Amino acid sequence: MARIYLDNNATTPVRQEVAEAVAGMLKGCYGNPSTLYCIGQEAHVSLEHARDVMAGVLGANRDEIIFTSGGTESDNIAVFGVARAMRKKGNHIITTKFEHHAVLNPCKALEKDGWSVTYLPVGPEGVVEPSDVERAITDKTVLISIMHANNEVGTVQPIAEIGKIAKARKITFHTDAVQSFAKLPIKVDEMGIDLLSASSHKIYGPKGVGLLYVRKGTKIMPIMYGGHQERSLRPGTENVPGIVGFGKATELMDAEREAEEARLVGMRDRLWEELSKKIPHIKLHGHPTKRLAGTLNIGFEFVEGESLILRLDEYGICVASGSACTSDALEPSHVLSALGIPPEGSHGALRFSLGRENTESDVDKLIEVLPKVVDDLRSFSPLYKEYLRNQKAAAG
């Protein structure tokens, strides 16, 4: 059975050109990039080429790019690294309630160490209000960390406006751009970003590689100690094949970004239009337009997200209920809760995230299968039966 993969916010298939670039490095370029002889220097040249690609895409300088093991590590270095460097100046951090756990959990750990953290609310459409950020600033605030695009509902935050506020108040501004890097235009200077996290496996690159952009002059300390690699902020011999793959994936994404965005928006919106015509009692979660091109999060009343996932899997269709990292936990999604969606709404939510391998025929298949699956599951739901009885009684 042909698989239809619609979970590209969880991870993406490695594209062919990237796999070839990684394999080329694994087979032919094993040198340690910190060594001086030619085998090491070959690896160094490849590493620095990838750094140049990243700097170019972000409008940054090459020495402001730090390679890491992925988005989680980049977020941890940003939060703990600034906290350690700025402790004498203040002990207050501003973030949001719907960040990824890679930001939320470091903040929670800091609270246990006496830090104070403001978790800003987001509006019902999943967008942070810049005036809320401004109001939350105190003379102890040393870091603002607000994600660019949300992984579950795809909403895109007004990063440039928040960056302006942070700059005016001389506060370090970090954005988790794991879901938006190379998908949305990002220029760190124009958006007032001091620190930015990105991850390779969300853009058809290998897993276990990421980057942290660190603006020159930002006060930040390492969270791990060792050699002098990556300006001593991330010591350890670099994962050169992975970084080369990440560089290749970024180059390719950047070249096709606009055309791909338009294609994904077309498929995403057609999917929503058709499903909302064919399935009653469903709701779009997040903002109707300020959203990642491929992300569609829908709440289905009277069904469980997990049952939908398993039934769709029988048809070869892979989708997610919440963020992949929490799909085995039974608590409602913290992102949907932050949008004011009650636990029962959260339990019936599905996230479809389309990517470059999806085609219109994948969308057709989902439009054909999903209404049947929902109908079938609802026929077993006592709540749905009760709803129908009440409707009938009300109609006389």
Residues near ligand PLP (CB under 6 A) are: 70-72, 75, 100, 102, 147, 151, 176, 178-179, 199, 201, 210
Task: Decide if 180 contacts 187 (C-beta within 8 A).
Answer: no
CB of 15 to ligand PLP, least distance (A): 17
Residues 6+ apart with CB under 8 A from 132: 120, 121
CB of 211 to ligand PLP, least distance (A): 10
* Active site (catalytic) residues: 325
DSSP assignment string, 333-352:
PHHHHHTT--HHHHHTEEEE
| Strand blocks (E) in 220-370 | 282-285, 295-300, 317-318, 349-353
Specify the residue, 199 or 321, whose C-beta has the smaller distance to ligand PLP.
199
- The DSSP secondary-structure symbol of 156 reads B
CB of 391 to ligand PLP, least distance (A): 40
CB of 212 to ligand PLP, least distance (A): 12
Task: Decide if 91 contacts 140 (C-beta within 8 A).
Answer: yes
- Select from 293, 209, 213 the least CA-distant residue to 249: 209
Specify the residue, 72 or 229, whose C-beta has the smaller distance to ligand PLP.
72
Specify the residue, 210 or 241, whose C-beta has the smaller distance to ligand PLP.
210
Q: Hey, what are 279's tokens?
A: 């399935």
Specify the residue, 204 or 302, whose C-beta has the smaller distance to ligand PLP.
204
CA dihedral 105, 320, 382, 395 (to 10 degrees): 110
